[in-house]
Structure 1
Amino acid sequence: MTTVLGIETSCDETGVAVYDSQRGLLSEALFSQIALHAEHGGVVPELASRDHVRRLAGLVDEALASAGVEQTDCIAYTAGPGLIGALMVGASFATGLATAWGRPVIPIHHMEGHLLAPLMTGEAPDFPFVALLVSGGHTLLVQVEGIGRYRLLGQTRDDAVGEAFDKTAKLLQLDYPGGPAVARLAEQGDPARFRLPRPMLDKPGLDFSFSGLKTAVYLLAQDHPESPADIARAFEEAVVETLATKCQRALAQAGCADLLIAGGVAANTRLRQALAALPGVRLHTPPLALCTDNGAMIAHAGALRLADAIEQPTRMLARPRWPLDTLEPPGQFAWT
């Protein structure tokens, strides 16, 4: 039995959790910075970093007390990708705490945390499967052969899909964060009123591009300022069809029937419905609470990567950019 303290500070959520390798999730504490960044219409990196500093110690105390433990056997923290200042807050706190406790640390890839989170609830398929990872900073299609065995099938060439939602929300003068706001407004829209481009569906390969779609939304909003709900619906329809079509092609290329979706945009109802309707596809979705950034997914990933523990941490490890397909299976990954 091994207990892991997980710390997530990659962007605008301060997440802490305690996970037991046998008993599962013991406790979780989370503080969202949505209200802090809402007035700016997006995440301000310096404000995010300072708020992580302000919240982290208290959340760790809360999670430990709720789990009924004073210390854990090791500490896992998000080492990347993400905002470098925010990452360094979590990395420095975890490294300092591990040194004080005499415990090892486990640096965790943020998107692997999302990818493996459904395993906590039994919602993930057996290997191999295809994963669609969609969040504010990432849009990835990955063939998953096992933990740390990832082959990148496609990725965005510009805006991530979550970023496109946020920018569309700003164009339509909606609240931050944009994903839920656009989805709510789209419910009132007429799906037949406007049709926006489905980017890169007529090109080979599995990459994505959403910057042109954002421009199309801007032009449409200029011409039809009286129709924000119809524009939101057209945008969401374009995003969902693009993602669903690429997923279907990825599954065919990989020879898989199992599709896992993870990340913040995985909470979008219309996207889940479209992927579930793909013929011959078995869709696996995490609970909504595990879609957004959280400490539980980092603690869980740490429990799966105990073989990568650094027994005597001597430096902080933070990577704002970190390709998922550079990871190795547990016990084979070496930090340099």
Structure 2
Amino acid sequence: MSQIWPFDVKIKESLSPREGIRYFRCLYLYPVKRRFEEVAEILEEVVTNELNRFRMVPATQPAVERIDLVTSSEIIQEEIWTKVLDADLIFCDITGYNPNVMFECGVCAAWKRNDEVKLIKDHFFKQESAFDIAPKRYIEYEMTSRGRPEFVKKVRKLVEQALIRYPDGRGRSPEISLPLELDFRDSRDTGILYTPPFAHRRAIGGRLEFGSSQDFSHSWASLGKKRFRDIDLEFEAKFSNAVNEEEAWIGVGLRSHHCFAPFGHILYLRANGMIIIAQPNDMPPQLYQDIRLRNKMPIDTDRDHLFRISFDDRALEVEVDGFSRSFRVRDMPKVFKDGLIRFQAYYC
């Protein structure tokens, strides 16, 4: 039986099996009129480009779902509420205060976090803001030669922020109490280390083997969902099934907000013996710099390698197999307040 009331749909969906593996979902809610087609096309282009930049696959085609494109035989209201429930980022176009969109916007406010719902409206629509949404910021757009590039820039930033949050917003992990010691000598796994759904993972040979040799964005394991500011960390790691002896590496992201280099400090050891730290900055286009700490040298990739890291408000101190370096925080171009501890691998 189809449901038309949002609460009934939410109850129905909560009792249904949810996708264990799912892709990023974006939704555009707007008055179904031709004048909004250009806005929809801009959102589609920006979201598609950003998904490609983050090496992510859209959940749907087109990448931005729209209610007017629904082809299901189900009652459309149930489709709308299901899509709202599943969306990771929603653009609500409040131009004209269309009653359908405003009702949908209210459901979004009840079900979604503030950073998951973005209000947009035509700059030339002049009307006093509705009282209940007046405190929330919204983005204005102008479909003019000057206005389009500015709108694209703003949307790109919002989508980027959503995609940065997305991987760490999936799944659950138990609370962490410190100090913490983990070992896998009995080859038993633990839920404390969280890995993305597409990652290979198994406890074997007294260690946890994880990662994806072909997809870097799924080749990591975080220490739960806890955000750390001060870090005192020691761990052993080894290479496994390296598919590129020159490029393969193992390491850890510190104060990490995403597995990519601009969103945390990443210390790593390459299979060729090189030790590198990726340091974020605000210099485009990369927004980070690879700092080579040690040049190439022969290493045994079949043995464990010891990492020691200390990170506080004064200094970042790193050590790999006895080779150490120290960085003063005040000299770093960019430092995040806190973030995940994210063990990472590449091509292995």
- TM-score, scaled relative to structure 1: 0.25
Query: Which of the pair has the greater relative contact order for Cα pairs under 8 Å at 6+ separation?
Result: 1
| Structure with the larger strand share | 2
| Structure with the larger helix share | 1
